[in-house]
Amino acid sequence: MKIRTTIGLLLLAVGLSGTVYWAITSLTPQKITVAVDAPIVNKRIFDPSDMDAARLYFEENPDSRMQIKELYYDFDPKRSPERFESAMDEGVEFFVTTQPSSTLLASTHLFKTPSALLINTSSTNPSTTGKDDYIIRIIADAQAEQQAIAQYIDSLPGKRLLVLQDSANNEYTDPAFDYFIGALEERGHWQITHEKLLFESFSPTRFQRLMSEPFDALYVLGGDFQASMGNMVQLFHQYHPDAPIVLTPWARSNAIYETAGPALDRMVLLGHHPGKAQDPAIEDYLQRFTKRYGYQPMAMALMVRQGLELLEQAFAAGHTTPEAVKQYLLSQPELQTSLGTIEIDAYGDSTQRLHPIEDLGTELRFTP
């Protein structure tokens, strides 16, 4: 009789523990997988800023509703869709992408329906602007970006401007150049010399004659945070030590600053975020990042952080499907993040302004 009683109590205990476990797990929100991508280092030199930014986010937010899935891409547009499709087949519905225009455009058709939602932190090509899709772009498109840069350059003294355009990412630089020229020519202030070349194979000896011509300013129209842009501006600076050098937001990288040498003092970058000296939140984040990983990240780390924060906010508010997250974000034209406010329009396109950063020496330095 005692044996039967003992067995009965054990079974009751097991049953109760199972009920408690079921109750706990049913009340605990399930993790939502978010895929974050980063480039494979094969054609250009990149640092691991993208993935380290995602990892730091989850280290600082251990109770996050999200869990990360790491994706990697090369610069072959033909291979871009399969990366997304593979993740979607595994049930991933949310993506934060760092792909440039040349790569991402091959995959935008995958985000025309509410099967998945993409936070675009990098592609500026205007072909996705004003579209009712499931892409939320948290950076300005090429038109807004280049109009801001043209306005800044038009405020500079001088008449002769050299524009160096990268030929590797035509989906970005071609429309960007058209918008830039259109905006600058309206003012009629500058005589423009335009040279299109492959930045990654820049040869100083080949461009010495061009650089030595009497220019008053240089505009480097390129992206992908390529260190070779530092070589270009250094050569230009040798012949024009007092001339300003303007760069796009996609040159915000220590690798470029370090390569630029003494030209750094004449460089101005138009950024999506203010400089460290102008924004304590940016400075604090970059310090935390550098302490954790031992290097200061390129600008993509800032956008990846913001993309993850926006998804976290939507999930915390109870919106866990692509359609619901989209509507939640669109209902708040001003999106608050720890790294600043992002303004978007009814199509999910950013309308934020750019910030001139004129003291890049401060950006380069890190003080623990």
Domain assignment of residue 308, yes or no: yes
pLDDT digits (tens, 9 = 90+) for 58-74: 999 999 999 999 998 88
Closest CA to 161 of 128, 195, 127, 132: 195
Number of domains in the chain: 2
Residue 100 scores a pLDDT above 60: yes
Residue 6 scores a pLDDT above 80: no
**Average of pLDDT values for 159-171?**
96
Please return the burial class of 226, using the count of CB atoms within 10 Å of its CB with bins 0-12, 13-18 and 19+. Answer: buried
Residue 43 scores a pLDDT above 60: no
Indicate the average pLDDT of the chain. 91
Residue 344 scores a pLDDT above 90: yes
Closest CA to 302 of 277, 278, 275, 324: 275
pLDDT digits (tens, 9 = 90+) for 225-267: 999 999 999 999 999 999 999 999 999 999 999 999 999 999 9
Of the pLDDT bands very low, low, confident and very high (cuts 50, 70, 90), residue 336 is: very high
Q: Could you tell me if 163 and 248 lie in one domain?
A: yes
Q: Could you tell me if 266 and 288 lie in one domain?
A: no
Of the pLDDT bands very low, low, confident and very high (cuts 50, 70, 90), residue 364 is: confident
Higher pLDDT, 312 or 223: 312
Domain assignment of residue 80, yes or no: yes
Q: Could you tell me if 266 and 340 lie in one domain?
A: no
Q: Could you tell me if 167 and 123 lie in one domain?
A: no
Buried b (16+ CB within 10 A) or exposed e, 191-208: eeeeeebebbebeeeebe
Q: Could you tell me the two tokens for 118?
A: 């993409």
**Average of pLDDT values for 91-109?**
96
Of all residues in the chain, the percent with pLDDT exceeding 70 is 90
pLDDT of the residue at 57: 98
pLDDT of the residue at 76: 87
**Average of pLDDT values for 338-349?**
96
pLDDT digits (tens, 9 = 90+) for 185-241: 887 889 999 999 999 999 999 999 999 999 999 999 998 899 999 999 999 999 999
pLDDT of the residue at 359: 93
Residue 7 scores a pLDDT above 80: no
Of the pLDDT bands very low, low, confident and very high (cuts 50, 70, 90), residue 368 is: low
How large is the greatest C-alpha to C-alpha distance in the chain, in angstroms? Answer: 105
Higher pLDDT, 40 or 266: 266
Where among 222, 248, 271 does a domain terminate? 271
Q: Could you tell me if 302 and 239 lie in one domain?
A: no
Per DSSP bridges, beta strands 191-197 and 217-221 are unpaired
Please return the burial class of 323, using the count of CB atoms within 10 Å of its CB with bins 0-12, 13-18 and 19+. Answer: middle
- Amino acid, res. 169: N
Residue 328 phi/psi, 5-degree rounding, is -65, -45
Of all residues in the chain, the percent with pLDDT exceeding 90 is 82
Q: Could you tell me if 245 and 299 lie in one domain?
A: no
Q: Could you tell me if 157 and 266 lie in one domain?
A: yes
Where among 228, 251, 271 does a domain terminate? 271
Residue 20 scores a pLDDT above 60: no
Q: Could you tell me if 162 and 262 lie in one domain?
A: yes
What CATH number did the domain enclosing 209 receive? 3.40.50.2300
Domain assignment of residue 197, yes or no: yes
Sign of torsion over alpha carbons 23, 34, 107, 175 = positive
Q: Could you tell me if 125 and 221 lie in one domain?
A: no
pLDDT of the residue at 199: 95
Global pTM exceeds 0.85: yes
Q: Could you tell me if 250 and 147 lie in one domain?
A: yes
Q: Could you tell me if 267 and 147 lie in one domain?
A: yes
Of the pLDDT bands very low, low, confident and very high (cuts 50, 70, 90), residue 24 is: very low
**Average of pLDDT values for 300-311?**
97
pLDDT of the residue at 74: 84
Domain assignment of residue 7, yes or no: no
Residue 1 scores a pLDDT above 80: no
Where would I find the H helices in the chain? 2-27, 49-60, 80-89, 101-104, 142-154, 170-185, 204-211, 228-239, 254-260, 280-293, 300-316, 322-330, 360-364
**Residue-range definition of the domain harbouring residue 213:** 143-271
